[in-house]
Amino acid sequence: MNRQPLNDGRYDSVSEFIAAANGGPANKANQPYVDAMTNDVRTGWYGAGCATGKDVDAKVMTGWQEGRAKVDAFLTKLESIELAPRDLRRRLTKTDFGDHLNIGDVYAGRFQTAWTKATRRSSQGPQKVDLVANMICEGGDDSEVLFWRGAAAVALSDKLEAAGYMVRLVVGFGDIGDDISCRVTVKNYDMPLDLLTASSIIMPGFFRAIGHRWIAAHATHKRGGIGISVGKCLYEKDEIYLSHEIRDEASAKATVEKTIRKIDGRTEAA
């Protein structure tokens, strides 16, 4: 297996990431940790009804339908939150000089608006937006924390694409000491957000099982334990980073609203 560096792992798909996590440890001394994140029963910790890492693998690859239904219910609560559509069609604009003169406005003395001309609302193509969901939390946190973080990312992707934006959605995790970073693209700009990719980001066990197993598989040194210090993955300029500000449905909704307002403001200023 062509191993990626522990401090900068990057994968173009969920299946590619899972294959890397299942490739066996770079240091044989870490095999117990790989096994633990695959076979040990941790009911409740992984969420989504999963007891083991194997359960998480299966549900990620086949699609977590109950979780997707929960996200759909969340989306209905966001129906009043909309972005202004990005429309490139020409619109008629009233001006003091243009292509066509309205003689009625002239007779009425409305010289500032007597002319109309066709203008574009925007001269740019669809704007690209990069979302990164930091899918890691403290070991003692309820698995719902990670679900709602993923749900906020899925909801934002849905809202943005409905408004004509091109969205890339990445999940990541990292160590606070900057010696671990991994990014997994679950949706690129030209891809739909289907059930499989949505399930991978809203599954609490995505990091808790597969992420830990990836760390154990890629560490070349003998690890003293399975846990890490909660941090962030490497992220790029202008990426919208969803992290520890999201812990439940209320904070997920607040983050979606705040992010949409920010993007709308950026659009108006462009």
For the stretch 152-180, what's the b/e string if a residue is b when 16 or more beta carbons lie within 10 angstroms of its beta carbon?
Answer: bbbbbbbbbbebbbbbbbbbbbbbeeeeb
Q: Where are the domains of the chain?
A: 9-82+125-269, 90-120
Locate all alpha helices (DSSP H) within 120-248, ordered by sequence.
144-162, 195-202, 205, 212-218
In this prediction, residue 89 has a pLDDT band, given cuts at 50, 70 and 90, of: very low
Question: Model-level pTM greater than 0.85?
Answer: no
Report d(CA 35, CA 41) in Å as an integer: 11
Q: Looking at per-residue confidence, does 119 or 237 come out higher?
A: 237
Q: Stretch 215-232: mean pLDDT, rounded? A: 87
Strands 100-101 and 115-120 turn out to be antiparallel
Residue 268 pLDDT class (50, 70, 90 cuts): very low
| DSSP H stretches of helix in the chain | 14-21, 31-39, 53-62, 65-76, 103-107, 144-162, 195-202, 205, 212-218, 249-269
- For residue 247, give both structure tokens: 């812990």
Looking at the chain, the whole-number percentage of residues with pLDDT higher than 70 is 80
Structure confidence at residue 176 as a pLDDT band (50, 70, 90): confident
Asked whether residue 270 carries a pLDDT value surpassing 60, the answer given is: no
- Condensed to tens digits (0 to 9), the pLDDT of residues 30-88 reads 999 999 999 999 989 999 999 999 999 988 888 888 998 999 999 999 877 667 655 44
Does residue 197 carry a pLDDT above 80?
Answer: no
